[in-house]
């Protein structure tokens, strides 16, 4: 890994993973995050070719007798949740910028048949250069067609999830709409202290669009992404045209891979809400090694560590167990 570089380490106590479902979920989190970080995961190839600049890079994992460890890039700009709370709400241009980069991140995952399923401001980190990266694959799942599992954060759940109906990658586009709404207005469209009442609000889908924060273009985008009607939500494979060239958007590192089923990425990219976004240049600006080099002005550059929530200091002395090749309960986590 080299010296003089900071990394973030996610530590999971094995004692909290006694349930078989949690064990499967943790193993899946490692596998999918590693797949999204490394084109050839088994080789641990650290080259940047083919990676998405909008996904937090997972360098590797290990375990000791009591804990699992996931080593990731340290993104010191904090998360979108804290930044949004500090600003109250974002103007349309700022919300559009962050949404566009989230689209490229989701598009990359969807082409790998990965549904993220836990898109929320807390899982959207901001780099020191002002770009975003998705993190936390705890609810991600490999799905080529449809699945039924209920998971995610309540206020961001699509209606078909709470009704235990089959769902596809379009649930991520629904959640994107929720987040864009939250960035523009300052709070999610559905809020309720009682979970059952919240689910009823989501199912009824009574949404107000405050005109002081958004215009027709933004409202239309939100209606197309947040619609409870799955058949009219984004998910059809319509080729997107790049506004810079007028040609179909092809060959971008965020959109590599086989598209098993239409996932809606191209449709979202060609929505009028993103009119004028030059997608290859946006991607190239997120890191010098991605795509064509170009300049995209980010909304703002975060101050060092200004957007992290405050937590108590941790005594790392309790993580000094010997790192056994297998370790206690290691058979349950064979790939760590």
* 7-76+311-332 and 80-285, same CATH topology: no
Residue 4 φ/ψ region, left for φ over 0, alpha for ψ in the -120 to 50 degree band, beta for the rest: left
Class of domain 7-76+311-332: alpha beta
DSSP class of residue 134? E
Report the alpha-carbon angle 101-105-111, nearest 5.
Answer: 140
* pLDDT reported for residue 319: 54
Q: What is the architecture, at CATH level 2, of domain 80-285?
A: Orthogonal Bundle (1.10)
- 258/19 Cα distance (integer angstroms): 34
Buried b (16+ CB within 10 A) or exposed e, 308-332: eeeeeeeeeeeeeeeeeeebebbeb
Q: Domain map of the chain by residue range?
A: 7-76+311-332, 80-285
Beta strands in the chain (DSSP E): 7-13, 58-63, 67-73, 114-115, 124-126, 132-134, 141-142
Structure token pair of residue 38: 């490394």
| 263 part of the active site | no
Q: Per residue of the chain (336 residues), what is the pLDDT tens digit?
A: 456 788 999 999 998 888 888 899 999 999 999 999 986 543 333 344 567 899 999 999 999 888 999 999 999 889 999 999 999 999 999 999 999 999 999 999 998 999 999 999 999 999 988 999 999 999 999 987 777 677 778 999 999 999 988 888 999 999 999 999 999 999 999 998 899 999 999 999 999 999 999 999 999 999 999 999 988 898 644 444 455 655 555 445 455 444 444 568 988 999 999 998 988 888 877 754 333 444 577 888 887 655 555 555 555 555 555 444 434 456 888 889
Q: What is the pTM of this model?
A: 0.83
Catalytic hit among 73, 118, 263, 271: 118
Q: Which has the closest alpha carbon to 58: 133, 127, 108?
A: 133
- Phi first, then psi, for residue 164 (nearest 5°) are 60, 35
- 131/171 Cα distance (integer angstroms): 23
């Amino acid at each position: 890994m080299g010296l003089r570089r900071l990394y973030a380490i996610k530590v999971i106590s094995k004692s909290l993973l006694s349930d078989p479902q949690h064990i499967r979920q943790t193993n899946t989190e490692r596998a999918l995050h590693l797949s999204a970080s490394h084109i050839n995961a088994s080789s641990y190839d650290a080259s940047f070719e083919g990676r998405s600049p909008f996904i937090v890079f997972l360098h590797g994992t290990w375990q000791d007798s009591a804990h699992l460890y996931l080593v990731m890039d340290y993104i010191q700009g904090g998360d979108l949740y804290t930044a949004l709370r500090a600003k109250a709400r974002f103007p349309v241009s700022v919300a559009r910028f962050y949404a566009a980069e989230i689209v490229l991140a989701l598009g990359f995952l969807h082409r790998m048949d990965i549904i993220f399923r836990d898109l929320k401001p807390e899982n959207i980190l901001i780099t020191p250069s002002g770009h975003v990266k998705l993190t936390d694959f705890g609810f991600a799942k490999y799905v080529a067609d449809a699945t039924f599992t209920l998971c995610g954060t309540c206020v961001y759940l699509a209606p078909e999830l709470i009704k235990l109906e089959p769902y596809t990658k379009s649930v991520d586009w629904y959640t994107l709409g929720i987040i864009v709404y939250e960035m523009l207005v300052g709070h999610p469209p559905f809020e309720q202290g009682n979970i059952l009442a919240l689910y009823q609000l989501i199912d009824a889908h009574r949404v107000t669009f405050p005109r002081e924060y958004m215009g027709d273009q933004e409202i239309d985008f939100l209606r197309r992404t947040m619609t409870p009607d799955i058949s009219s939500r984004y998910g059809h494979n319509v080729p997107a045209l790049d506004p810079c060239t007028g040609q179909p958007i092809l060959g971008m590192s965020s959109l590599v891979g086989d598209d098993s089923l239409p996932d809606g990425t191209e449709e979202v990219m060609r929505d009028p809400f993103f009119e004028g976004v030059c997608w290859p240049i946006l991607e190239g600006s997120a890191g010098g090694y991605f795509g064509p080099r170009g300049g995209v002005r980010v909304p703002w550059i975060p101050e060092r560590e200004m957007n992290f929530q405050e937590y108590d200091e941790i005594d790392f002395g309790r993580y000094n167990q010997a790192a056994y090749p297998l370790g206690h309960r290691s058979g349950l986590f064979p790939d760590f």
